[in-house]
């Protein structure tokens, strides 16, 4: 019985240590989440203004053409997949990767029909184990990434479309709603569609010409959308991690409570047994 009590006490102590870790990780994730949300919110006005300018040129200039508007028969598709570098984020990464695998299974018959650009070690390792065609990757990003961190892969993905090596480009990531809700999305980035803006749009004069300005702005706009998706995905990762660690802390508290109750009952039974043995011994001597 004493051995059983020691085992239960050791379990309680172990779970208490785990609870301290998960509680600390929850608080760290909550702190980082606020900053990640701010970064995502601050990036939106820039991308919205870029879209306004691009839409103004595209709708106000007749006969304008650019490879990024060009719709062509789809022979090869590109997927830019954004995941995290580390785990302990619930089903955040699994949901995005499941969506990517579903799209690949439904739309392609061979690996020659698509290629992958991957941000995040979790996605890279998952896709690499399945020997899927990864043409570019970026890992080891901080919790507050800058555009310079993903500029190379964003440029590579956009450039592959401009050169005609892929005929469409999708970006797959978790869209942040709140700390409890992250929605996996797969949005078509290229060719660009639905560029019309709602409401009044400011009138601009362009030098040297609208076409030249559009030539410079369109790749930057596409790269900005990729960076905005990354910031959204980072906020989603931290929100999922905070929720997962919060659940782990609650589960640890529940287990500690159950084990403590078991320990107290076992201890009470041991004391009762000892008293019974003492009384029986006393009665035998009388």
pTM as predicted = 0.83
Residue 281 resides in a domain: no
The single residue listed with the structure tokens 């892969």 is 153
Which domain covers residue 110, as residue numbers? Answer: 27-243
pLDDT tens profile 27-70: 999 999 988 988 888 887 887 777 777 777 766 666 667 778 88
The single residue listed with the structure tokens 């760290």 is 28
Residue 19 resides in a domain: no
Residue 118 resides in a domain: yes
Domain harbouring 141, CATH code: 3.40.1380.10
Q: Provide, rounded to the nearest whole percent, the portion of the chain with pLDDT above 90.
A: 53
pLDDT tens profile 227-262: 999 999 999 999 999 999 999 999 999 999 999 999
Beta strands 168-176 and 114-119 are unpaired
Count other C-beta atoms under 10 Å from residue 48's C-beta.
12
Asked if the model's pLDDT at residue 199 lies above 60, the reply is: no
Residue 268 resides in a domain: no
Residue 3 resides in a domain: no
Residue 80 resides in a domain: yes
* Distance in angstroms (rounded) separating the CA atoms of residues 86 and 95: 15
For residue 194, the model assigns a pLDDT of 61
Residue 48 resides in a domain: yes
CA atoms lying within 13 Å on the CB side of residue 180: 1
Residue 263 resides in a domain: no
pLDDT band at 129 (very low <50, low <70, confident <90, very high): very high
pLDDT tens profile 133-192: 999 999 999 988 999 999 999 999 999 998 999 999 999 999 988 888 899 999 998 888
Computed over every residue of the chain, the mean pLDDT equals 87
- How many domains is the chain partitioned into structurally? 1
Of 68, 71, 100, nearest in space to 83 by CA: 100
């Amino acid at each position: 019985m004493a051995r059983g009590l020691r085992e239960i006490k050791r379990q309680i102590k172990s779970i208490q240590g785990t609870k301290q870790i998960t509680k600390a990780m929850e608080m760290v994730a909550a702190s980082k989440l606020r900053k990640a949300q701010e970064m995502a919110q601050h990036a939106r006005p820039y991308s919205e203004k870029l879209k306004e300018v691009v839409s103004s040129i595209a709708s106000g200039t007749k006969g304008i053409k650019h490879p990024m508007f060009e719709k062509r028969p789809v022979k090869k598709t590109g997927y830019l997949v954004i995941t995290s570098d580390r785990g302990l984020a619930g089903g955040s990464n699994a949901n995005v990767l499941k969506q990517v695998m579903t799209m690949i299974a439904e739309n392609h018959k061979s690996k020659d029909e698509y290629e992958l650009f991957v941000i995040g070690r979790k996605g890279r390792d998952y896709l690499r184990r399945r020997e899927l065609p990864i043409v570019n990757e970026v890992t080891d990003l901080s919790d507050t990434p800058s555009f310079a961190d993903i500029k190379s892969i964003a440029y590579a993905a956009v450039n592959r479309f401009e050169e005609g090596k892929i005929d469409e480009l999708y970006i797959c990531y978790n869209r942040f709603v709140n700390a409890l809700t992250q929605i996996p999305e797969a949005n078509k980035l290229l060719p660009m569609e639905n560029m019309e803006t709602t409401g009044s749009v400011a009138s601009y004069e362009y030098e040297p010409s609208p076409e030249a300005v559009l030539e410079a702005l369109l790749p930057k706009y596409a790269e900005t959308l990729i960076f905005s998706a990354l910031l959204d995905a980072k906020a989603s990762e931290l929100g999922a991690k905070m929720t997962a660690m919060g659940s782990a802390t609650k589960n640890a508290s529940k287990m500690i409570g159950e084990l403590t109750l078991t320990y107290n009952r076992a201890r009470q039974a041991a004391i009762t047994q000892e008293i019974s043995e003492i009384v029986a011994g006393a009665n035998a001597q009388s």
